[in-house]
Structure 1
Amino acid sequence: MSNAPQEPSSVPKHADPDDEHLDLWGSGADSTVPRTTSAAETMPKAAHKKRNWPKIFLSALLVAVLLVVGVLFYYFRSVSTALNGIHRDPNLMPDQTAVQPIEPGKPINFVLMGTDNRPGVSGARSDSLIVAQLSGDREHLYLVSFLRDMWVTIPANKVMPKDSKAKINAAYSWGGSALTVKTLQNITGVQMDHAVIIDFPGFVSLTDELGGVTIYNPQKSTIDGHNFPQGNITVSGQDALLYVRERYDLANGDLDRAARQRAVITAIIEKSMSGDVIGNPKKFNEVMQVYAKNTTVDSGLTPANIRKIATSLRLKSGTSIVQVQAPISGFGKSKDGQAYDIVDEAGLAELSSALKSDRMADYVANHPQ
């Protein structure tokens, strides 16, 4: 028997060589057990990170894509729900069957009516009347105010069986939106494509949901104990309604009121399209729901048509929304004592020509507002 010293066993006593496969850290039961070193372990750390960065990048990209898809889906669902929820009335236009699809490159004329319809009050009238023309190139929206006291010829209707001279806002009282649109078409010779109505409660809710809108107020005024100082002011809810309805405490009466209405509508459009609303899914959904609950449109403004118009918009900023006043030449009084605004016939003919020919930019340049 040899007395030479024995080499220590590489496997500890009572240890199973297969135990190294059970080691959670992958080092085996004994660090003295020889094992094969992988290429990744011998690779410098920088090179190892370089090999892993594509996986990290792709994982981050996948997460970002999923987030974007989720947000877009939420927005699409919110918009679809709102568009489907808008009340559509086939009687808003004089003849809905005569409304033709808008050709690409042609302007679109919307009649916007703010009515004084509210609980406890009958015989509603159009407190605000605006023709909003979206230019053929979709780069500008022109808001053309027609003063509620403009003395015009209103076509025969159920209340007045023959054509009658009256203030333009009487058309809504006598025949609703359809008669108002017909009156506008008769005095301008311009085909109106769509009609949109919002009443007082809807206006209050919309400005509240937007968190108020900021406009520049050129002259201070007071109505029902509410003071509106000169300068930049933020209005919402009932204050906003009072602001756009006041005329007696304004230097130019109805002209200044119409200017206020255009300014507030412009501010509402700008804020509805702002990053604060569009970038906030919850706020975006709430605003869309308020629009759906408080507006009525003609049946031609289907969800598909609204999407088509919206995706064609190329409005770049607030300067893309241009405010215009339909011209008057003075003031008069009817035989029954009504004070009214006299239409500037020559001026209206020029405005009408610009609306028909999609040349409102030239009109505005020649008639600074």
Structure 2
Amino acid sequence: MPVKKNLHNHRKHNQYKFKKIFWLFLLLLLILGVGVAGIAYRNIYRATTIVYKKANAHKERNAGKLIDNKRPISILLLGTDTGALGRTYKGRTDTMIIMSINPQKQKTVMMSLPRDMKVNLSGYSEYSPAKINAAYTYGGTKESIDTVQKYLKVPIDYYVLVNMGGLKKAINQVGGVTVVSPLTFTYLGDHFVKGKKYHLYGNDALKFSRMRYSDPQGDYGRQLRQRLILTGLLKKSFSYRTFLSSSFLKTISNQAQTDLNRSQMFGLSINYRKAGNHVVSDHVQGVGKEIGGQDFEVVSKSELIKSSNIIRNNLGLTRY
């Protein structure tokens, strides 16, 4: 009997010891987890603080409540020329894309605007008519948002301004993007074949997206290739690992500007990520005309209405 009692006590002692080690192990994981979370939070806090800047534009609806309520939102993506393939000129936006993101439909629509689109600038009538990419030159993001809202009849809830030269760093940080070339062409030493799949890193991705004069569709073909690159980057950027990467956040904070605040970015990454799985690519089509010595893309009323309704439909709004 004493032997059995000792065995029982020994077994009980081992169970107690195991439980003690188990809880210590869990405590260690918790401490490490808090440490990692703390580092991640600091990275996000710094990056979002640096990148945040109000546009001071007239917003047509209460954008702040949309993400909280998981409603469809629109973002005006502006790409500047700075630093792209050696460029230093900072005056105009080389890229303008309206992104409408619908978490219920799990769908994103990317609508490119021709940079030479003829408009009357919302706040600068003395410089009108002008090309839409000049809006940023005269009035920054505020004028860009106000002019787009006026012409497309769609609300712009947020904006993201990206340095296209810095875009290559972001592409490298996510491990490159995969695209299928819509045409065969050679640009700055890189050759692409129509229908062939390519996994591109920074500089090659910029070359793929920037060629214009050898494309039969001109600037519209360039817009299509830009959307292919940005779609690939969008899908990669929605991943949890990428979002918490200190190097990725540092790259983004140095190369971008937005009026999305910290909590809104978290809301997007958590509740809107599936909308990145179905991306529809489109553009506003104009007709080239020379007016007053300038080459414009003139967009008809019917084309504006059609493009507006594609965006408005994905935002859950009534037709224009």
TM superposition score normalised by structure 2: 0.82
1:177 counterpart residue number: 141
Q: CA 1:192–1:86 in structure 2 vs 1: closer, same or farther (change >3 Å)?
A: same
Of the three residues 273, 277, 281, the one matched with 1:315 is 273
Q: CA 1:209–1:248 in structure 2 vs 1: closer, same or farther (change >3 Å)?
A: same
Stretch of structure 1 that moved more, 250-259 or 134-143: 134-143
2:258 pairs with 1:297:
yes
2:64 pairs with 1:101:
yes
Structure with the higher helix share, 1 or 2: 2
Of the three residues 325, 344, 352, the one matched with 2:308 is 352
Aligned-pair distance for 1:314? 3.6
Of the three residues 287, 290, 306, the one matched with 1:334 is 290
Q: Is the 8 A contact 2:73 2:315 kept in 1?
A: no
Q: CA 1:360–1:87 in structure 2 vs 1: closer, same or farther (change >3 Å)?
A: closer
Stretch of structure 1 that moved more, 92-101 or 224-233: 92-101
Pairing 1:125-274 to 2, within 5 Å after superposition: 125-135=92-102, 137=104, 139-157=106-124, 161=126, 164-230=128-194, 231-274=196-239
SS at 1:266 equivalent: helix
Larger RCO, structure (CA 8 Å, separation 6 or more): 2
TM superposition score normalised by structure 1: 0.72
1:247-272 deviation line (CA, Å, top 9, x unaligned)? 12223222221111111111112222
Q: In structure 2, list runs of 5 or more residues that go unmatched.
A: none
1:150-172 deviation line (CA, Å, top 9, x unaligned)? 33333351xx516x333322222
SS at 1:324 equivalent: strand
Aligned-pair distance for 1:192? 1.2
Aligned-pair distance for 1:305? 3.5
The alignment covers a number of residue pairs equal to 314
Aligned-pair distance for 1:196? 1.5
Name the amino acid aligned to 2:57: P
Name the amino acid aligned to 1:306: M
Of the three residues 246, 254, 268, the one matched with 1:285 is 246
Distance in 2 between residues matched to 1:241 and 1:126, nearest whole Å: 16
Distance in 2 between residues matched to 1:317 and 1:112, nearest whole Å: 17
Distance in 2 between residues matched to 1:40 and 1:73, nearest whole Å: 49
Aligned-pair distance for 1:294? 1.0
| Greater Rg over alpha carbons, structure | 1
Aligned-pair distance for 1:358? 4.2
Q: Is the 8 A contact 2:102 2:275 kept in 1?
A: no
Q: CA 1:258–1:360 in structure 2 vs 1: closer, same or farther (change >3 Å)?
A: farther
SS at 1:349 equivalent: helix
Q: Is the 8 A contact 1:113 1:129 kept in 2?
A: yes
Q: CA 1:229–1:346 in structure 2 vs 1: closer, same or farther (change >3 Å)?
A: same
SS at 1:206 equivalent: helix
**CA-based RMSD:** 3.5
SS at 1:79 equivalent: helix
Q: In structure 1, list runs of 5 or more residues that go unmatched.
A: 1-35, 364-369
Q: CA 1:99–1:122 in structure 2 vs 1: closer, same or farther (change >3 Å)?
A: farther
